[in-house]
Copies of this chain bind each other. A is one copy, B any other.
Amino acid sequence: MDTDRQADDVTDGRPARRGPSAVRLAADVLPLDRFNAFTDGVFAIAITLLVLDLTVPAVGAPVLPALSDEWHEFLGYLISFVFIGGIWFSHAGMTKLMRQADGLSYGIDLLMLLFVGVLPFSTNLMVTHLESPDVSVAVVIYGLNVLLASLTLSFLMFYIASERSLVVDGVADETLDAKVRQRWVIIGVNVVAIAIAVVLPLAAVGLYLITTVLALALPLVDLHRRRRS
């Protein structure tokens, strides 16, 4: 019966009503399902925002050249989509380790969403100014936005790893440590990208494109390795 009770606790990330539940409810515990639902809602909106910038060519003008002229907008949609998709991916990989949320995890999540919400804007800024004299400023601003979103997402992981009461049973310390290390690597890459953007903005854009492609390709490599073994 004990294990059953714990299983229920995890099922919906809401405090159970039996045993030590009174204590838990009195404390800072907040439901994990709403944590995820609201976050997924903001992610879904942010990831589709740049579609609104695509303009249908006017009737009369040839379609293909008109669409080619919009390549900045298409590139922006692609970059924004892949990057926010990657954050969703990472976020789901973190919250699968959680049994419940609390006030601070809600707060960190909101801060992360604040930066994710402006990512479509800063992506748009970057791709619009790719050929402008101010390209460096635009890419650095994008880089800072990516860094801030990445950093606050990392804070969430750091906090989860430090608050064992939020973590489901059976998660090994090594699993948490590996995730924390992974976040530091990502932060490091983002800092380097900004440094590059100051000197060689277009090289930084290339780096962002490469990492997004890698992010999409990694699961495929993983699958191939798994299939072979």
Residues of A within 8 A of B (CB): 3-4, 6-8, 10-12, 14-18, 21-22, 25-26, 28-31, 33-38, 40-49, 51-52, 54, 56-57, 59-60, 62-64, 67, 77-78, 81-82, 85, 88-89, 92-93, 95-97, 102-104, 106-107, 110-111, 113-114, 117-118, 120-121, 124-125, 128-129, 131-132, 134, 137-138, 141, 168-172, 175, 216, 218-220, 222-223
Please measure, in the bound complex, the distance between the C-alpha atom of A120 and the C-alpha atom of B77, giving whole angstroms. 14
A21-B170 contact given A51-B121, A93-B30, A222-B28, CB 8 Å threshold: yes
Chain A binding surface, main DSSP class: helix
Q: Is the CB of B117 within 8 A of A77?
A: yes
A60-B132 contact given A15-B96, A45-B41, A220-B104, CB 8 Å threshold: yes
Choose from B10, B97, B129, B171 the contact partner of A63 (Cβ within 8 Å): B129
Please measure, in the bound complex, the distance between the C-alpha atom of A63 and the C-alpha atom of B41, giving whole angstroms. 31
Please measure, in the bound complex, the distance between the C-alpha atom of A104 and the C-alpha atom of B218, giving whole angstroms. 9
Please measure, in the bound complex, the distance between the C-alpha atom of A5 and the C-alpha atom of B99, giving whole angstroms. 17
A23: min CB distance to chain B, Å: 10
Please measure, in the bound complex, the distance between the C-alpha atom of A38 and the C-alpha atom of B82, giving whole angstroms. 14
A46: min CB distance to chain B, Å: 6
A47-B117 contact given A59-B132, A95-B34, CB 8 Å threshold: yes
Q: Is the CB of B64 within 8 A of A17?
A: no
A81-B117 contact given A16-B7, A43-B41, A45-B45, CB 8 Å threshold: yes
